[in-house]
Amino acid sequence: MRNEQIAQTLEAYAGLLDLAGAGYYTVRAYRRAAELVRETRAPVAELVRAGRVRELRGIGPGIERRLQELVATGKLEELEELEREVEPQLVALGRLVGLGPQRMVALGRELGVRTADELRAAAEAGRLREAKGIGPETERKIVAGLARERPRRRRGLLLNRARALAAAIAQELDGEIAGEVRRWRDVVYELAIVSRAPDAFVRLEASPTVVAIVERDDARAVGVTVEGIPVEVVAAPPGSFGTALVRATGSREYVDALEPLPGAPTEDAVYAALGLPWCPPELREAPLGGEPPRLVELADIRGDLHCHTDWSDGKATVSEMAIAARDLGYDYVAICDHTPNVRVVPGLDADALRRQADEIAAVNEELAPFRVLRGTECDIRADGTLDLPDDVLAELDWVQLSLHAGQRQSEDVLTRKVTEAMRHPAVRCLSHPKGRIINHRPPNALQLDRVIEVALEEGIALETNGLPDRLDLRDEEVRLAVDAGVPIVCSTDAHSVRGLGNMSLSVATARRGWATAADVLNTRGLDEVLGLRRR
């Protein structure tokens, strides 16, 4: 059994556990295990057989037991049981009308109902009230849910997951990704696909990714994924494909300002007919006055300035990260492992950093002219000082400053602490300044305008962190920094070789903040990057 197959089974299991109402942490543990298996280079099946799979970080006894079953029998009994029990289609329908999984499955079985249309018919016939435990209140809720134009999720999908889902469906339907995903929004509530297939809706019905279709007419249909995310599918004939793509990409405000749109086969032709320059999807949140700027592109990026190795909580060695960065076409990469204050993961003190220097020197010798920078993600301590002694900070090529604890402190305390730490002469860049974790922690109270002032005074860059649950600075904050003239650094904060691929998320976030290549420090050569504070 290949790693990819194991990962897919674990993911499917996580999805069904989620539908069955299992706890958030359980579901996350399986999702993470799936990711881990996918990233592991050794054949995981062999590790399982050798009884060594728990050496992988994040694999506990429960997951190990299921891996043993999977490797031995090629299947997971519990997964099959859940599939029988959970009925993804009914659960998705429950999400649509605001009923929990168990309740919706019970109701569906009692009424013999499986689709939105059947449920609607049952409601119209007044049959809902016959069902056990459905009072007038719940009946009203279900009817209102069915009438609502579109199901709305409380919690959106992270952009990386949304992109993967949208890409899978687009492929199934021979279509193009549109909507929020094409605009690279940080959180996605709805997917949109424009399909050129004459049998688009037949394909949609057969899609393993979409579990229920909740609306349908001649030109469009709305399905729901196993996560409860609505998917709008537009079937467009070749002659007006471009027009459909502009409309489905949105945003609604942006498109409304362009209407009426001419019918045209490509987007370029639509814009040409309107007498307007083509507009990057990232800027289509609101009507655009005038010409769009030439935004920074992934191909402009010449190095990654924030990544981790197995010296702290990363999964790969210095050499593996460096080779992967070089293979992405970069000229440089900065190794920025944590410092001791971060506590929840191993951090490097001055001694460890100096030992790491030897390893970095050896890799540099091997990979020249590619350059591995000695860096750190240095914590700001509770008292506002930096978590490393000055002499070692002065030796380093690249110092990222990070606040990991105390994110909930008051505006005054936080802003004072961070801006004072920024005055340290070794600091080059402030990591994930607002400290948000999407869906889990709101942004901190840090006063960004004050941080921007100090960054300007000190010649420090601000990061757009590419971790899918951070994307911090976010779009509008990037724009504030760019307008003020503060350099942006697009980084991945990668903890694995695969994580280096998140540069596209960071760059897209910078693009949504109107950043051009000139605004992004790591589009430049190493001399300029290292010259940032040498005045």
**Applying CB under 5 A, which residues contact Zn ion?**
377, 402, 493
> What is the three-class DSSP state of 178?
strand
Least Å distance between CB 342 and Zn ion? 8
> What is the three-class DSSP state of 209?
coil
Least Å distance between CB 33 and Zn ion? 22
Q: How far apart are CA 534 and CA 531, in angstroms?
A: 5
Q: Is 480 exposed, middle or buried (0-12, 13-18, 19+ CB in 10 A)?
A: middle
> Between residues 18 and 493, which has the closer beta carbon with respect to Zn ion?
493
> Between residues 243 and 491, which has the closer beta carbon with respect to Zn ion?
491
Least Å distance between CB 495 and Zn ion? 8
Least Å distance between CB 154 and Zn ion? 27
Least Å distance between CB 369 and Zn ion? 26
> Between residues 111 and 333, which has the closer beta carbon with respect to Zn ion?
333
The 8-class DSSP code of residue 331 comes to S
Q: How far apart are CA 85 and CA 91, in angstroms?
A: 10
Q: How far apart are CA 174 and CA 15, in angstroms?
A: 25
> Between residues 270 and 401, which has the closer beta carbon with respect to Zn ion?
401
Q: How far apart are CA 87 and CA 91, in angstroms?
A: 6
Least Å distance between CB 35 and Zn ion? 17
Least Å distance between CB 170 and Zn ion? 32
Least Å distance between CB 174 and Zn ion? 39
Least Å distance between CB 521 and Zn ion? 17
Which run of H or of E encompasses 354?
helix 350-367
> Between residues 314 and 487, which has the closer beta carbon with respect to Zn ion?
314
> Between residues 186 and 377, which has the closer beta carbon with respect to Zn ion?
377
Return the number of other C-beta atoms located less than 10 Å from residue 413's C-beta.
12
Residue with tokens 């001055």: 350
Q: How far apart are CA 308 and CA 211, in angstroms?
A: 38
Sequence letter at residue 1: M
Least Å distance between CB 414 and Zn ion? 16
Least Å distance between CB 373 and Zn ion? 14
Which residue minimizes CB distance to Zn ion? 493
- The residue among 68, 78, 41, 69 whose CA lies nearest residue 56 is 41
> Between residues 309 and 402, which has the closer beta carbon with respect to Zn ion?
402
> Between residues 282 and 337, which has the closer beta carbon with respect to Zn ion?
337
> Between residues 195 and 402, which has the closer beta carbon with respect to Zn ion?
402
Give bridge partners of residue 220 from the DSSP assignment: 234
Tokens at 44, concatenated: 């995981």
Give bridge partners of residue 378 from the DSSP assignment: 401
The dihedral of CA 283, 289, 290, 293: what is its sign? negative
Find out whether 211 and 89 touch, Cβ atoms under 8 Å: yes
> Between residues 224 and 336, which has the closer beta carbon with respect to Zn ion?
336
Tokens at 335, concatenated: 């190794």
Q: How far apart are CA 109 and CA 105, in angstroms?
A: 6
Tokens at 490, concatenated: 């697009």
Least Å distance between CB 337 and Zn ion? 8
> Between residues 402 and 523, which has the closer beta carbon with respect to Zn ion?
402
Q: How far apart are CA 482 and CA 519, in angstroms?
A: 6
> Between residues 297 and 313, which has the closer beta carbon with respect to Zn ion?
313
Segments of 308-370 assigned E as strands = 332-335
> H helices within 275-428, ranges in order?
318-327, 350-367, 390-395, 411-422
> What is the three-class DSSP state of 44?
helix
What lies within 8 Å, CB to CB, of 89 at 6+ separation is 114, 115, 211, 212
Return the number of other C-beta atoms located less than 10 Å from residue 412's C-beta.
10
